[in-house]
A and B are shown apart, each in its own frame.
Chain A
Amino acid sequence: MEIKFSGVTKIFQPDIIALEDIYMQVEKGEFVYLVGETGSGKTTLMRCITREVIPTRGQISVGGNLLRKINRFDLALFRRDIGVVFQSFLLLPNLTAFENVAFVLEIMGLTPREITERASEVLKLVGIWRRRNLYPPQLSGGEQQRLAIARAIVNSPSLLIADEPTGNLDTHTADEIMQLILGINAAGTTVMMATHNQYLVDTYRHRVIEIHRGRIVRDEEQGRYEHHGSC
């Protein structure tokens, strides 16, 4: 799913400029790291893509949908085709791990049998199959993270938005999660991942977009976490 930002500015009330004049184009199947210090606007940019946020100025088009114009029903259909790993997971505490994944498929209208099949498959893929009957508060941070990813990919989305999917994880676990996401990307899903993990960005080299105070200050193929080279 391709993404196109043209002149996107987001000003939160009263005068916080979270994004300023963003131009960006991401092609189908690409893998993009979004880096930048805390408060630079990474999450806001991603929330513009999922249309949780509407920009103050500028146009956004994702997979051919003009997000400013999209109606309630088309928005729902659009969101079924994207997967989101939220920075704060947003798992539902009174549903089991299995149900947290299954309810996405229920929304899409799958039958109970298809749901059991698909949800089991995904839980095995992210490695928490044995924890399927536990509730999110009973899971460790890493397990919750995996569950959040499982929920994001269970609908086989064309676009995966992952907001710090390896936050609070040890290097080994972060690496495993990263392998998972790379695998999903290899299968054709466009991935945009916000991260503070220098090791991952420098090890698995992909396009890097750096944001600083709401502006894109760097956009390079096969980039590194930190900017090297001439000014």
Chain B
Amino acid sequence: MAAVRYACRDGWRLIVRHWGMSLLTIFTAMSVFFIIGASTLFVLNVRNIVSSLENQMTIQAYLKPKADVKAAEKAIKALPYVKETKLITKDMALERLRSRIGEQAKAVMLLGENPLPESIEIKVRKASDVAETARLLVAVPEIEDIVYAGRVAEKLTKVSGFVEKFSIVMLLVAIAASGVVLFNTIRISVYSREEEIGVMMMVGATSTYVTLPFVIQGFILGLTGAFFASLLLGGTYYAAVTRLKDMLPFIPFIESTKLTGKLAFMLICCGATVSLISSLMAVEKFIRKASKPL
């Protein structure tokens, strides 16, 4: 198809002719798609952390010194949300302490008797159930104190919910912004070729033929922007994760290249779609006006 070749050549010429504007457009598109990708990665990581915290979510209920262990366990099991319980005897507690701090744990025995309280380890079903369960546990008479690491998860859940909502809004705003920038660039190109388009239509160019170079121009700009955004994102993300892993070894960051690859693919598709739609819109309006007879 000769026509497609001419359109590609003209599209490329438009980019080169307005090279300053082209660079600016690519840069803007890149920034926007970078933001989109970064916020997506952030949300995915938060989700990942929350779900991993959810998996190891337990509440420690320390019993009063002379409490009835059986009764306590029964009362706890009767509570809603509780998935399973496990009794930690004084000896087990000491063993755990020893495994954590080593031989210093022997110091505890200096008092003669093991002072560690018996406790019950409670697993709940969901992160959101932790707080409620903890509140109910306080009412159990045999329990002296409760401790749960899930406090963080509970907060994280709230944060991640908010982040997700916020990032969806931001995503839409960002996509609209890139669309507007691309639209504007294409419109300027269209106006720079106003005369040419008029003559082309007079000598029998179809509207598709006139439109194609501009769509190609927009497509290349949007795609290039998205492509560089995913490169940049990949680079910065892995650099950041390597650093963060050293500083925060207990946080499970997403490192699967499959996932980031998917994200890059999504970004590029997004760039292609946005640029196609906005350049089509920019040209179509103009052509309808230009081809209207007096």
Q: Which residues of the other chain, B, contact A92 by a CB distance below 8 angstroms?
A: 195-196, 199
Whether, in the assembled complex, A131 has its beta carbon less than 8 Å from a beta carbon of chain B, the answer is no
> How many angstroms from the CA of A12 to the CA of B3 in the assembled complex?
37
Q: B206 near A52 (CB under 8 angstroms)?
A: no
- How many chain-A residues does the 8 Å CB contact rule pick out? 30
Q: B293 near A72 (CB under 8 angstroms)?
A: no
> How many angstroms from the CA of A50 to the CA of B1 in the assembled complex?
28
> How many angstroms from the CA of A151 to the CA of B6 in the assembled complex?
18
Q: Which residues of the other chain, A, contact B291 by a CB distance below 8 angstroms?
A: 72, 75
Knowing A106-B2, A107-B209, A111-B2, say if A51 contacts B200 (CB, 8 Å).
no
Q: Which residues of the other chain, B, contact A111 by a CB distance below 8 angstroms?
A: 2
Q: B2 near A76 (CB under 8 angstroms)?
A: no
Knowing A76-B206, A79-B204, A92-B196, say if A47 contacts B3 (CB, 8 Å).
no
> How many angstroms from the CA of A54 to the CA of B291 in the assembled complex?
12
Total number of A-B contacts with CB less than 8 angstroms?
60
Whether, in the assembled complex, B294 has its beta carbon less than 8 Å from a beta carbon of chain A, the answer is yes
Whether, in the assembled complex, A53 has its beta carbon less than 8 Å from a beta carbon of chain B, the answer is yes
> How many angstroms from the CA of A151 to the CA of B293 in the assembled complex?
22
Knowing A52-B294, A92-B196, A111-B2, say if A76 contacts B205 (CB, 8 Å).
yes
Interface string of B155-180 (1 = CB under 8 A from A): 00000000000000000000000000
11 contacts between A and B (CB under 8 A): A51-B293, A52-B202, A52-B294, A54-B293, A106-B6, A107-B200, A107-B204, A107-B209, A112-B2, A151-B203, A155-B204
Q: Nearest 10 A-B pairs (CB), nearest first? A: A80-B204, A79-B204, A76-B206, A54-B293, A107-B205, A53-B294, A104-B203, A106-B6, A76-B204, A109-B3
**A residues lining the B interface (CB < 8 Å):** 12, 47, 50-54, 72-73, 75-81, 84, 90, 92, 103-104, 106-112, 151, 155
